Chain A
Amino acid sequence: MTLPDKQEARRLFKQMLQIRYFEDKIMELLSKNIAEGGSHLYAGMEAVAVGAMSSINHDDYITSTHRGHGHAIAKDGDIKALMAEILGKKTGVCKGKGGSLHLADLSKGNLGANGIVGASIGIATGAALSIKMRKNSQVVICFFGDGATNQGIFYESMNIASLWKLPVIYLCENNLYGMSVSVHRATSISDLTKKSLAFDMPSESVDGMDVLAVKECVKKWADYVRKGNGPCFIVANTYRYYGHSRSDPRVYRTKEEEKFWKDRDPIITFPVKMIEAGILTNDETKNIEGEVKQEIEEATEYAINSPYPEPEELYTDLYT
Chain B
Amino acid sequence: MREITYRQALNEALKEEMERDSTVFSAGEDIAIYGGAYGVTADLWKKFGDDRVKDTPISESAIVGIGIGAAMTGMRPVVEIMYIDFIPLCLEQIANQAAKIRYMFGGKTKVPLTIRTEGGTGRSLGAHHSQSLEAWLLHIPGLKVVMPSTSYDAKGLLKSAIRDDNPVIFIEHKMLYNIKGPVPEEEYTIPIGIADIKKEGKDVTILSYSRMMLFSLEAAKILEKDGINVEVIDLRTLLPLDMETIKKSIKKTNKVIIVEEDTKTGGTGAEVGMKIMEECFDYLDAPIKRIAGADVPMPKSPVLEKIAIPQIDDIIREVKLITS
Instruction: Report the minimal beta-carbon distance from B233 to chain A, rounded to whole angstroms.
Output: 29
B286 at the binding interface (Cβ < 8 Å): no
The reply to whether B127 and A115 form a contact with Cβ atoms under 8 Å apart is yes
Size class of A's contact patch? 35 or more
In the complex the two chains form, what is the Cα distance from A185 to B57 in whole Å? Answer: 8
Looking at the assembled complex, report how far the CB atom of A133 sits from the nearest CB atom of chain B, in whole angstroms.
27
Taking the closest CB of chain B, its distance from the CB of A153, in whole angstroms, is 9
Q: A-side interface residues toward B, CB under 8 Å?
A: 36-38, 85, 88-90, 94, 96-102, 114-118, 147-148, 150-152, 178-181, 185-187, 248, 251-252, 308-309, 311, 313-315, 318
**Majority DSSP secondary structure for residues of B touching A:** loop
Chain A residues lying within 8 Å of B124, measured Cβ to Cβ, are: 36-37, 88, 99
B288 at interface (Cβ–Cβ under 8 A)? no
Contacts of B303 in A (CB 8 A): 88, 308-309, 311
Q: Do the beta carbons of B126 and A311 come within 8 Å of each other?
A: no
A146 to chain B, nearest CB (A): 9
Contact A98 B300 (CB under 8 A): yes
CB contacts (< 8 Å) of B127 on chain A: these are 97-98, 102, 115
| Segment at the interface with A among B28-36, B140-148, B155-163 | B28-36
B92 to chain A, nearest CB (A): 10
Judge whether B58 and A102 touch: CB under 8 Å: no
Bound-state CA distance A151–B297 (Å) is 24
Query: Which B positions have Cβ atoms within 8 angstroms of A?
Result: 29-30, 33-34, 37, 55-62, 85-86, 89, 123-129, 294, 296-297, 299-304, 307-308
Q: List 9 A-B contacts (CB under 8 A).
A: A101-B300, A116-B86, A116-B128, A151-B60, A180-B33, A251-B34, A313-B299, A314-B294, A318-B296
Interface contact B33-A314, CB-CB below 8 Å: no
Q: For the complex, would chain A's binding face be called helix, strand, loop or mixed by DSSP majority?
A: loop
Cross-chain contact B58 with A314 (CB below 8 angstroms):
no
Pairwise interchain contact A88-B30, C-beta atoms closer than 8 A: no
Q: How far is the CB of B273 from chain A (nearest CB, A)?
A: 23
For B38, the closest partner residue in chain A by CB is: A247
User: Contact between B57 and A150 (Cβ–Cβ < 8 Å)?
Assistant: yes
A180–B34 Cα distance when bound, in Å, is 6
Question: Which B residues are CB-close (under 8 A) to A96?
Answer: 299-301, 304
Asked if A150 and B58 make an inter-chain contact with CB atoms under 8 angstroms apart, the answer reads: yes
In the assembled complex, the CB of B41 is this many whole angstroms from the nearest CB of chain A, namely 12
Taking a contact as CB atoms under 8 Å apart, the answer to whether A37 and B294 are in contact is no
* CA–CA, A98 and B126, complex, Å: 6
Q: Which one of A118, A252, A311 contacts B34 once the chains associate, using CB atoms below 8 Å?
A: A252
Q: Which residues of B contact A100 (CB under 8 A)?
A: 126, 300
Contacts of A99 in B (CB 8 A): 124-126, 300-301
Known: A88-B299, A98-B126. 11 other contacts (CB 8 A): A36-B302, A89-B301, A96-B301, A99-B124, A102-B128, A147-B57, A152-B62, A178-B58, A180-B55, A186-B57, A309-B299
